[in-house]
């Protein structure tokens, strides 16, 4: 943990390794912030075909980082998703996404983005146990 900032990097073999100068996740201020994950299988590097299967793999990658901190998808409070083809793929993405979250669902922003040879990328913010940011 950084004494100056109070932040700590998170690493797990259950999610793809960073392809650049970033961490899989960072714990800070009572939250876990994840990197934006693509649909690469961390064991094989394979990328599934189609936005639904890619969304499911992305969320399994995110879940692996959460699990490394004792968290689940129920602890997620904010999701940011990027779709290569927003209009074309939103319905299939949303259907796959719904399989990973229960009510109350986290807040979510979904935007169209120019992604590098993938159809979806997602990052999340999760509340750590015992943290009540409302005071």
Residues 6 or more apart from 41 whose CB is under 8 A from it?
47, 48, 57
For residue 60, the enclosing domain spans 8-127
Number of domains in the chain: 1
Domain membership flag for residue 108 = yes
Which candidate, 21, 96, 8, 103, places its Cα nearest to that of 60? 96
Q: Please report, for the domain that includes residue 92, its CATH number.
A: 3.30.1330.40
Cα–Cα distance, 132 to 68 (Å, whole number): 21
Domain membership flag for residue 132 = no
Mean pLDDT of 102-121: 97
Domain membership flag for residue 133 = no
Domain membership flag for residue 65 = yes
- Rounded to 5°, the CA angle 111-119-93 comes to 65
Domain membership flag for residue 2 = no
Domain membership flag for residue 63 = yes
Domain membership flag for residue 88 = yes
Report residue 77 as tokens.
Answer: 């409070």
Which tens digit of pLDDT belongs to each residue from 50-104? Answer: 999 999 999 999 999 999 999 999 999 999 999 999 999 999 999 999 999 999 9
């Amino acid at each position: 943990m950084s004494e100056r900032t109070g932040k700590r990097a998170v690493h797990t073999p259950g999610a793809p390794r960073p392809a650049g100068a970033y961490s899989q996740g960072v714990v800070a201020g009572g939250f876990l912030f994840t990197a934006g994950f693509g649909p690469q299988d961390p064991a094989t590097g394979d990328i599934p075909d189609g936005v639904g299967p890619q969304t499911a793999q992305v969320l399994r990658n995110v879940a692996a980082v959460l699990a490394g901190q004792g968290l689940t998808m129920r602890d997620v409070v904010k999701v940011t998703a990027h779709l290569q083809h927003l209009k074309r793929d939103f319905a299939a993405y949303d259907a796959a996404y719904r399989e990973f979250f229960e009510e109350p669902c986290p807040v979510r922003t979904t935007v169209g983005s120019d992604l590098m040879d993938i159809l979806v990328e997602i990052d999340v913010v999760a509340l750590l146990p015992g943290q009540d940011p409302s005071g």
